[in-house]
Copies of this chain bind each other. A is one copy, B any other.
């Protein structure tokens, strides 16, 4: 299976009066063109008049879509020559028993980094308590992290750890920059993923800011629990991936 195996077979037509402006729909389509292999090897877009005809809109509408993508850094225009992608391929993130950020994306980006944004010790709310097999209100260490590939944010996560068992997890993470290493420092040499729940929604305000997305972008939300070799939960996490930059692969065999 290829890394882009889940591309839609056919693209949707442009819809009028859908509540989404034509330039926005076209800009979303152009963005997806990049990975569909329909363009020249030099990443050159068809000329504006051709796109206008293909989408059944005025050339100015296409120009509006393009200018937004230029603003966003996705495209670059050269008068007299054409419009080109500033290409960035989509990363494949494996989810399974042994889900780890850096190891999973290794080789797909020249730099991979997990950054701790904020942390504190809080009382577990209902869903965290359930995930970690604790009483509601039990103390947990909360971490907000962002995953960077080549310096660009691709995921943002909130994680909760039982505070009685792993009080130093935040410091350990800050020093090592990785959950795996931090847990290892604290005497947990191995852990596995018990369950993952996936949903997809439009990006929230938070997502837009943290993942540097534009309104209307899609995020993949993964909620999961990691357990130690005895099966005891040690981490409950909610991760949000930019669907434009990441695809999830599930190895179940």
Interface residues of A (CB under 8 A from B): 1-2, 5-13, 15, 18-21, 23-24, 27-28, 32, 68, 92, 95-97, 127, 130-131, 158, 192-208, 214-216, 218-223, 225, 227, 238, 240, 243, 247-253
**CB < 8 Å neighbour of A251 from B15, B195, B202:** B195
Task: Decide: A1 near B195, CB < 8 A? Known: A6-B238, A20-B24.
Answer: yes
A218 touches B201 (CB 8 A): yes
* Chain B residues, CB < 8 A from A1: 127, 130-131, 195, 197, 223, 225
Task: Decide: A252 near B19, CB < 8 A? Known: A6-B198, A199-B6, A218-B200.
Answer: no
Q: Add 6 more A-B contacts to A12-B206, A20-B216 (CB < 8 A).
A: A5-B238, A15-B215, A20-B21, A95-B250, A192-B252, A197-B248
* Chain B residues, CB < 8 A from A11: 204-205
**CB < 8 Å neighbour of A28 from B21, B195, B202, B207:** B202
* Chain B residues, CB < 8 A from A198: 6, 198, 220, 247-250
B250 touches A9 (CB 8 A): no
A193 touches B252 (CB 8 A): yes
Within the complex, the shortest CB–CB distance from A91 to chain B, in Å, comes to 12
**A18→B217 CA distance, assembly (Å):** 11
Within the complex, the shortest CB–CB distance from A47 to chain B, in Å, comes to 22
Closest to A26 in B: B19
**CB < 8 Å neighbour of A19 from B20, B127, B208:** B20
**A149→B252 CA distance, assembly (Å):** 26
**CB < 8 Å neighbour of A216 from B19, B68, B240:** B19
